[in-house]
């Protein structure tokens, strides 16, 4: 990529994901941004281009009439030649994945604050008409002041009160609920499941299903005879009420989960 791109000056690259590349850039006023670029291979496919721009449209909708503090601020999308790009406000942060990996004190000292912030932003996304469908620690940023920021809305879909049939199953297997893996269906409870898995990891540094290969994890997730490891088995200091809440979020049968993120928030507010 050239040093100058779409009116911005690229200062450095960042680690990207999938078919996107990330760059830190500045404008003429020295304001910092992140530019997401769909790589040349991905840009050749119409579905990839459509999904990429769709993520920007969802972010724009979620910032109307005003931005939410826990959602990455969206600036614009466009094309530079044949290269699709998205401009986001730069967020000085680390990913939740990094904090989990290093068992960082910022996480261990503030875990309930992060759990509540994540619940709040997922509820906001739902009440504003969307399912995120890619909630995972890599898509959750944590600012140095402890503010949580949710990113990457490329897989987001309009929210329905009934199971929505998906054309394909995307996302990271460990955070995709059994009904989506098996039947390609999703509703609010798909995001609630992913929320629960993230909370489980924040509190234990483990996942409820673990294996050396993705296939092993997937097999355990969809097998009704294999229950998730009880969260207090990894961390007996977790209060029982909180443990029950998280285990309810990650129940295999969607009928056994919370049906609505508002109810998760209600129960979180009762915890000290």
CATH of the domain at 102: 1.10.510.10
Same domain, 33 and 76: yes
Does one domain contain both 82 and 114?
no
* Digit-coded pLDDT (tens) for 7-17: 999 999 987 77
Q: What pLDDT tens digit does each residue of the chain (272 aa) get?
A: 558 999 999 999 987 777 889 999 999 999 999 999 998 887 888 888 998 999 999 999 999 999 999 999 999 999 999 899 999 999 999 999 999 999 999 999 999 999 999 999 999 999 999 999 999 999 999 999 999 999 999 999 999 766 667 777 778 899 999 999 998 899 999 999 999 999 999 999 999 999 888 888 899 999 999 999 999 999 999 999 999 999 999 999 999 999 999 999 999 999 86
The residue among 54, 89, 124 that closes a domain is 89
Cα distance between residue 216 and residue 57, in whole Å: 36
Same domain, 234 and 254: yes
- Together in a domain, 226 and 111: yes
Query: CA-CA distance, 183 to 162, in Å (whole number)?
Result: 14
Domain match, 161 and 75 both: no
152 is catalytic: yes
Residue burial 251-272, b: 16+ Cβ < 10 Å; e: rest: bbebeebbebbeebeebbeeee
**What's the pTM value of the predicted model, to 2 decimals?**
0.94
Tell whether 68 and 43 lie within a shared domain.
yes
Domain of residue 15, residue span: 4-89
Domain boundary (38, 64, 89) is at 89
Catalytic option among 45, 104, 152, 260: 152
Q: Looking at the structure, do residues 67 and 173 belong to the same domain, yes or no?
A: no
Give burial (CB, 10 Å; 0-12/13-18/19+) of 66: exposed
Chain segment 27-63, per-residue pLDDT in tens: 999 999 999 999 888 788 888 899 899 999 999 999 9
pLDDT the model gives residue 272: 61
For residue 64, the domain's CATH number is 3.30.200.20
Measured over the CA atoms of residue 40, residue 44, residue 45 and residue 47, the dihedral's sign is: positive
Overall number of domains in the chain: 2
Question: Euclidean distance between the first and final Cα of the chain, in Å?
Answer: 50
60/137 same-domain check: no
Mark which of 89, 124, 150 sits at the end of a domain.
89
Does one domain contain both 154 and 83? Answer: no
Cross-strand partners of 150: 71, 140
């Amino acid at each position: 990529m050239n040093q100058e791109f779409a009116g911005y000056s690229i200062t450095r690259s960042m680690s990207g994901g999938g078919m996107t590349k990330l760059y830190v850039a500045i404008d003429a006023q020295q304001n910092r941004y992140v530019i997401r670029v769909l790589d040349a291979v991905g840009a050749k496919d119409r579905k990839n281009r459509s999904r990429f721009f769709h993520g920007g449209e969802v972010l724009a909708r979620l910032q109307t009439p005003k931005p939410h503090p826990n959602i990455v601020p969206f600036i614009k999308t466009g094309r530079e030649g044949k290269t699709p790009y998205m401009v986001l406000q730069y967020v000085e942060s680390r990913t939740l994945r990094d904090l989990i990996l290093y068992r960082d004190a910022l996480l261990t000292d503030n875990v309930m604050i992060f759990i509540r912030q994540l619940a709040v932003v997922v509820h906001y996304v739902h009440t504003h008409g969307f399912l995120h469908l890619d909630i995972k620690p890599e898509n959750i940023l944590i600012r140095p002041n402890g503010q949580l920021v949710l990113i990457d809305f490329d897989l987001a879909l309009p929210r329905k009160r009934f199971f929505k049939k998906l054309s394909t199953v995307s996302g990271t297997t460990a955070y995709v609920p059994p009904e989506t893996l098996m039947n390609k269906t999703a509703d609010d409870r798909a995001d609630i499941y992913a929320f629960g898995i993230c909370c489980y990891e924040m509190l234990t540094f483990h996942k409820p299903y673990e294996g050396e290969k993705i296939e092993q994890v997937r097999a355990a997730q969809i097998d009704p005879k294999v229950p998730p490891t009880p969260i207090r088995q990894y961390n007996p200091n977790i209060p029982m009420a909180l443990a029950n809440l998280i285990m309810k979020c990650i129940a295999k049968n969607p009928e056994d989960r919370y049906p609505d993120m508002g109810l998760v928030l209600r129960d979180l507010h009762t915890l000290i």
